[in-house]
Amino acid sequence: MSGVKTRQVLPDQLRGIALLGIVVVNAAFLGISAYGFTAESVDGVANRLTALLVTTFAQGKFYLLFSFLFGYSASFILRDNSKPNRRRYLRRMLALFLFGLAHAVFFFIGDILITYSIFGLLLFTVSRSSDRALKRWTIAAITVAVLLMLVVASLAAAFPDDFSESGGLESALSTGTFAEAAIARLEALPSTLLWVFLLQGPMAFAAFVLGLRASRVKLLADPDSHIDLWRKLARWGWAIGLPLQAVAAGMQIGAVATGNSFSPGGAFGLALGFTTAPILTAGYIGSIALLIHRRPLFLSFLTPAGQMSLTVYIGESALMSFVFSAYGLGYFGQWGAFPVVLAGIACWAVLTVFAWLWMRRFKQGPLEFVMAAMTGKGGAT
């Protein structure tokens, strides 16, 4: 029937890939230290290479891909500007905030959902703007993101000890009970949220707006109609983005190996990596779209995970917390970068299989069902 909405496949497959990229980045913070890779964790060829690969290909890229898809999907709720849908969207932002708060306190303090819910409100206010106005918002957000990153990098280089201080969180994760770890995360949450908000928020908002604009022209609905665009994104994204990311990763991991992650080289490597990450992210989108164009079923196994991305995202942190925290298997801070990242990939694989099995029997993931109950059913994406 013409009135039946069909869920778009490419956004879900992109989400499935983004979930892998997100967990390999978060793995170091969940399994090694509260501030990521350490000198001990990158000792040895396998560990050093793993840290370099994660920083080059994943850090700062996949949360942007997720953000782009957030904006793309938001359009399906906001496009008709009806009061029921706008209220539903606001309820979704509140629910997202609550999910993010629970995620940050009980599993992973570096949660991005709280930031999404806040910047999602800003997206709500600009969602009816013209494409020209949205372009200005995108440029403004990227400019703010770059300036903030440069300021933070300068402060980190000037006061490295302040940026490496994790308080009692390290101790709670390595020796504490579940409740003690939750309390430690809650105590550290205000400062952590501030840094996540400053470092990732403006660039995520720029990706929100780009996703909103892409949804208006149904960019991901029919990948075969935009082959020239995908080729340009893939060509320029890899040709420009990859060298910049490789240089930034070398600076960062080189600083980590010396035991001073926030040395001037490390701090400005971080700034270079985050400010140029959108270029390589664009290359990923173009490459994946081309791959799906040539082999439509190649990434179909990722579709269920993309359909229940909230469940998989929080599930990754829950599994990793169990493996590494003292209240679980207790390996926090004991493994190098290679086995920790490998554990993250394994968690993603397990949850991807779980999603495939779950979606064979149900229409929504477990947390997606709760979200729908809290906010009402959204439009098809």
Task: Tell me how far apart the alpha carbons of residues 102 and 115 are, in angstroms, rounded to a whole number.
Answer: 13
Structure tokens at 116: 């999404």
Note if the pTM is more than 0.85. yes
Looking at residues 331-352, what average pLDDT do you find? 95
Top pLDDT among 366 and 223 is at: 366
303, 13 Cβ separation under 8 angstroms: yes
Structure tokens at 218: 């149904």
Model pLDDT for residues 81-129, shown as the tens digit of each residue: 778 888 888 999 999 999 999 999 999 998 999 999 999 999 999 888 8
Looking at residues 310-318, what average pLDDT do you find? 96
Task: Tell me how far apart the alpha carbons of residues 17 and 6 are, in angstroms, rounded to a whole number.
Answer: 21
pLDDT at 2 over 60: no
Whole-number average pLDDT of the chain: 89
65, 72 Cβ separation under 8 angstroms: no
pLDDT level of residue 1 (50, 70, 90 thresholds): very low
Looking at residue 160, what is its pLDDT? Answer: 63
Model pLDDT for residues 28-46, shown as the tens digit of each residue: 999 999 888 999 999 999 9
pLDDT at 355 over 70: yes
Angle at 60 between CA 356 and CA 300, to 5 degrees: 20
End-to-end CA distance of the chain: 17
Looking at residue 85, what is its pLDDT? Answer: 81
pLDDT level of residue 69 (50, 70, 90 thresholds): very high
Model pLDDT for residues 138-192, shown as the tens digit of each residue: 999 999 999 988 888 787 777 666 565 556 788 888 888 999 999 999 988 888 8
Q: Which of 208-222, 301-315, 345-359 has the lowest mean pLDDT?
A: 208-222
Looking at residue 367, what is its pLDDT? Answer: 95
Looking at residue 4, what is its pLDDT? Answer: 44
Model pLDDT for residues 233-263, shown as the tens digit of each residue: 999 999 999 999 999 999 999 999 998 888 8
Looking at residues 346-375, what average pLDDT do you find? 94
Cα–Cα distances (Å) from 268 to 69, 126, 160, in that order, read 28, 32, 12
pLDDT level of residue 3 (50, 70, 90 thresholds): very low
pLDDT at 379 over 80: no
Angle at 196 between CA 192 and CA 201, to 5 degrees: 155
> Which amino acid does the sequence have at 113?
L
> Quick one: angle between helices 309-324 and 9-31, nearest 10?
20
Residue with token string 């075969």? 224
Cα–Cα distances (Å) from 345 to 21, 54, 271, 277, 356, in that order, read 9, 12, 26, 21, 17
Looking at residue 166, what is its pLDDT? Answer: 56
